[in-house]
Amino acid sequence: MHRSIATVSLSGTLPEKLEAVAAAGFDGVEIFENDLLYYDGSPREIRQMCADLGIAITLFQPFRDFEGMPRERLQRNIDRAERKFDLMQELGTDLVLVCSTVAPDSTGDERILVDDMRLLAERAGARGLRIGYEALAWGRHVNRYSQVWNIVRQADHPALGVILDSFHTLSLKDDPAGIAQIPGDKIFFVQMADAPILAMDVLEWSRHFRNFPGQGDFDLPGFLAPILQTGYSGPLSLEIFNDGFRAAPPRANAADGLRSLLYLEEKTRERLAGAAPKPEILFAPPAAAPYGGVEFLEFAVDEATGAKLGHWLGQLGFAEAGRHRSKNVTLLRQNDINLILNSEPYSFAHNFFEAHGPSLCATAVRVQDSAKALERAVAYKAQPYRGLVGPNERELAAVRAPDGSLIYLVDADAQGRTIYETDFTLKPAPATPGPLGRIDHMAMALPPDALDNWVLFYKSILDFKADDEVVLPDPYGLVKSRAIRSRCSSVRLPLNISENRGTAISHALSTYRGSGVHHIAFDCEDIFATVNHAKEAGLPLLDIPLNYYDDLAARFDFDDEFLSELAYYNVLYDRDANGGELFHVYTEPFENRFFFEVLQRKGGYAGYGAANVAVRLAAMAKARSGAGHKARL
C-alpha cells in the first residue's frame, strides 16, 4: 500500500519531520497546517523538499467549520477555502481534509450540510482538487462515518469523498462493518491510529493518547478489513496526537510508525485470509518461526566483574561448562539454562560494558528456522548485526533491540550441532545436575516514553503477544508493567517503566545509564531445597519482613510450621483464582544492577507474583540503603 504519516505525529521542525518521514521509508506525508504556518519558507519550497526526498504530499489538513455555518458567513468561508486551495496547488497536493464542524452556532439541517459540501466540492473540482470529508468523534452534528457517507452520497460530486479515521470510529464504538457498503472510489483517504481504552472525554483522549497501530487496544484489522473489501487502494496514513511522540526523536519515531503500519497490514491480511479478492497490496512478511524458549543470556563483563558474577551464579548451582575457542568468553550451564560471560576486548560486549557496566548485552531465543526469522525481522526494518566469527565457528543471526542490545535467533546447524558444540571447548557435565531447570522470564527497566516502542518491536518483529498493563506500588512511586511473551509463552519479558525518580526502575535506569534487564527468573522443582542450597553456598538473598508472613497466615490456611519454613527461606507466596500456586525468592541485586529470582509454579500458575511486588520492592529499597537484616531463629 501507499504508506503515509501526518507531520503532527512527529516532533521537530517541518524539515526535520520530512527528513524523518523519508528516512523511515514512507511513500507520502500529510502536511498539517500548523507545521506549514510555523515554517519560514514558502509552500513551493516544501513541495520541492518533498520531491527531493522522494515523498509525495498526500493530503493537506485540516479545514474546519465550513458546513452548516450561519448563512451570512458562507461567502467568507468560501473565500477562506479558495485561499487554502491556492496553498494546496503550491504544495502540489490535490486533497484537503475537511472535518465535521464543531461550532456551536452551526446547524445540523441535513439539506444545508449537503448543499454546503456540494458547493465546496464544485469550487475544488473546478481547480482539479478534491475534498475529503471526515467525521470528528466530537463533531457537533456529524460524528459518524455513516453520516458523512450519507452527505457525500447525496451531494453526488466526483470531487467529494469520504475520509475514514480509525480513532473517530472506534472511540465511539461505532461498528466499522458498514464501511464495506461504501464504494471504494468514494473513499478518498484512510487515517489510522490506535489508543488505549480510557474512560475520558473523547477530545482529550484523541489529542493526547493516540498511538501507533499495535501499541493500543483498538481492533484496527477489524477496521481496515472492510475498507479493503470496498476495493480501496489509496494511502494508509498515520495521524497520531500523542504527548510523548511530540518529544520523541523524529527519526526513531517515524521508523516505529512505518513498522506499525506493516504490522497492521500483516494482521489485516491474516484477518482477510480466504477473502476474495485477496489483499495482495498488503505487507506479507515470512511467518514468525515457532519459539523454543531462551537459548542463552550473554552478560557483558570485565575480568573482575566476570569473576564475581561467576561466583554468584556458582552459588545458584551453575558450573563452568566450557570456554570459547577463540574469545575470552565463558559458558556457565545448569540443565536447560545457558549463561555466557563475555569479557572479550574490542568486541560488542566490551563496548556495551563500557557504556553500561556489567549488564545483559544479548538474549538468544531458540527458533526452528533462524534464516526465516532473520528475514522477517529485516522485512520489518530491524537492524541486523554481524559479529566477528573465527574459523569453524557459527555465525548467528541477530538483530539489534531498541536499546542497542542484541537478540540472537538460534537453531541447530546443518549437522544438528548446537552453538556450544561448534564454538566452545566443552567440559564434562557434572555428575549431579543443579536444581534450576530453565529461564522462566526476564524483566526490563525502560524509560517512561519507551514502553510503546518496545511493545511494537516485539509484537511485529518477533510476533509476541502483549498482556494488559498493570500498575505496581513501589515505596517511592508507581511502576507500570506490561509483559510481552511468545505465543507459546516459552519466552516472557515484563517491561517496566516509572515516572517517579526514586523507584527501583528509575534506580536501574540511572545505574545502567539507559534501558536494561534488571531481573532474571529461573524455575525449579523444589523451592525449599534450592534455596537451602543457595543459602548454604552463601548467596545473599533478599530479606522479607516477618510482617509479610503474619499477613499470609491471615489470608491462607497455613500451619505454623509451613509459615515458619517460608519465613526462614524468605520465600514469597501467591495463589491464583484457580488454585495455582507460586513460590518465589529473590537475591539481592548484583552490584546494585540486576537480581535473580528462583521460582516454583504449581497447578498452572501463569502470573508473575504481582501480589508480592510491593513487599519485594520495599525489601529491595531496604537492601539498596544498606539497612541490616532481621534476626532469624
Calpha distance 240→216 (Å, rounded): 12
Tens digit of each residue's pLDDT (9 = 90 or more) over 311-346: 999 999 999 999 999 999 999 999 999 999 999 999
CA atoms within 13 A on the CB side of 179: 30
pLDDT at 281: 85
∠ CA 296-355-318, nearest 5°, is 30
The CATH fold assigned to 291-426 is: 2,3-Dihydroxybiphenyl 1,2-Dioxygenase; domain 1 (3.10.180)
Tens digit of each residue's pLDDT (9 = 90 or more) over 205-263: 999 999 999 999 999 999 999 999 999 999 999 999 998 888 899 999 999 999 999 99
pLDDT at 627: 59
Rounded mean pLDDT, 38-47: 95
Percent of the chain residues topping a pLDDT of 90: 91
Q: Could you tell me if 57 and 92 are in contact, meaning their C-beta atoms sit under 8 angstroms apart?
A: yes
To which CATH superfamily is domain 436-625 assigned?
A: 2,3-Dihydroxybiphenyl 1,2-Dioxygenase, domain 1 (3.10.180.10)
Calpha distance 569→539 (Å, rounded): 12
Residue 415's pLDDT band, with cuts at 50, 70 and 90, is confident
> What is the β-pairing status of strands 516-524 and 436-445?
antiparallel
Q: Could you tell me if 505 and 445 are in contact, meaning their C-beta atoms sit under 8 angstroms apart?
A: yes
Fold agreement between 3-271 and 291-426 = no
pLDDT at 438: 97
Give kind and range of the element (H or E) at residue 349: helix 348-356
3-271 maps to which CATH number? Answer: 3.20.20.150
Tens digit of each residue's pLDDT (9 = 90 or more) over 93-123: 999 999 999 999 999 999 999 999 999 999 9
Domain boundaries, the chain: 3-271, 291-426, 436-625
Tens digit of each residue's pLDDT (9 = 90 or more) over 154-163: 999 999 999 9
Which residue is associated with the grid cell 556450544?
420
Q: Return the HEC string of 375-404.
A: HHHHHCCCCECCCCCCCCCCCCEEEECCCC
Q: Rounded mean pLDDT of the chain?
A: 94
pLDDT at 417: 83
Which residues 6+ apart lie within 8 Å of 406 measured at CB?
298, 348, 361, 362, 363, 385, 398, 399, 400
Q: Could you tell me if 423 and 322 are in contact, meaning their C-beta atoms sit under 8 angstroms apart?
A: no
pLDDT at 95: 99
What single string gives the DSSP state of each residue in 507-531?
HHHHHHTS-EEEEEEEEES-HHHHH
Residue 603 has pLDDT above 60, yes or no: yes
